[in-house]
Structure 1
Amino acid sequence: MKLMKTLIAGAVSMAFLPAVPAFAYEAGDIIVKAGVINVIPKDGNADTSALVPDSELDIDSNIQLGLTGVYMVNQYLGVELLAATPFEHTAEGDGGAIDGADVLTTKHLPPTLSAQYYPMGADSAIQPYVGLGVNYTFFFDEEDDAGLGSNGLKPSFGLAYSAGVDYMINDNWLVNASVWKVDIDTEVKGGAADGLEVEIDPIAFMVACGYKF
């Protein structure tokens, strides 16, 4: 009887203890996120003054479906792969005789692999992180809108810096906001603009929902 009272008392006291949510990422977890991603190139992407005096190229932004997959090496370290549906950008003349004219249209895919650090503990529903990685961007379906005789853009390889935050709705579902700064530099191939250096160097913003397996 005494043992029974002890067990009941223990059960009652446990019932009134605050629950500890299992928010922590653990080794082997896979987090998949999908959402809207906006790639915004920097201003003044190419100096075309050697071809057209007092001119440069500006590349417009583009919104696509963004996808990320994260594999947790341990509670604090993850490896992320960023992918997306193909981005399409138009390079427009700024200044000189080409002001406002479409010069080049291209599509590209920028897969990015990053290592990420998650500093928060197991009881935090908010999981911020920072990352450092590498990006490989390849271009396709280029259109020579200005008739310069070019036949595309060279692939780009560079660093990528990232930061973001996951908010765990429960142990599996989450919402996410993230940003990347990506080094994308390329050159025009062929035609009158052959060898022209194009610095895209975009900032990418993504809002997504995700699931932890």
Structure 2
Amino acid sequence: MKNPGFVLSIIVLALAFSSALAYDPDPLQDFCVAIDEPKNAVFVNGKFCKNPKLVNTNDFFLSGLNIPGNTSNPIGSTVTPVFVDQLPGLNTMGISMVRIDYGINGLNPPHTHPRATEILHLLEGILYVGFVNSNPENRLFAKVLKPGEVFVFPKGMIHFQLNIGKTNAVAIAALSSQNPGIITIANALFNSKPPIYPNVLAKAFQLDGLVVEGLQKKFWYDNLDLSPKRQ
């Protein structure tokens, strides 16, 4: 190799470029308030941008996170999102957040965010939280959190939270994307539409095919609350 330094530079630039593509792009203007109506708008980063002259303070404002989520459901938790669809002013900003309410023994089931790292701050209660890193190690990183403590879930890692206290729990989490995406593992695999061929799941989980078919017929609850709270 006549010029290893040049090759190394190309590799570094390629890695930097691929890393940059993995995150929400930096904004190239002051703001780009999302709008569904394309009239008097421009299309940026998956959303139409509201005409800047029509933007107002309420485009950057959301109320309702003080309202507890309903935890009387099969998994005992509710996630209240503040993504770009709930707060249009987040468009192109590369951030979002959620409120998570947990009933006693409530679980935010194993899931991933394909487009975001998450940092969780526990406000009330006691949570057992953790994530698993990638193959072949599949190492569990887990911790019991008390109020005021923080835990980070790296981008794309399968993670969870379980209320192990004797009272309800509440957490606030921030994410490094305006639209982080949520893939709940059990729901995605056993409640896909159309269903995954049972033999695939039977071999993957080393289960009897009838067990898989039974799981595919179950009701799989989604704890993400998308009801409008914007005022």
TM-score, normalised to structure 2, is: 0.26
Q: Structure 1 or 2: larger helix share?
A: 2
Larger Cα-atom Rg? 1
Q: Structure 1 or 2: larger strand share?
A: 1
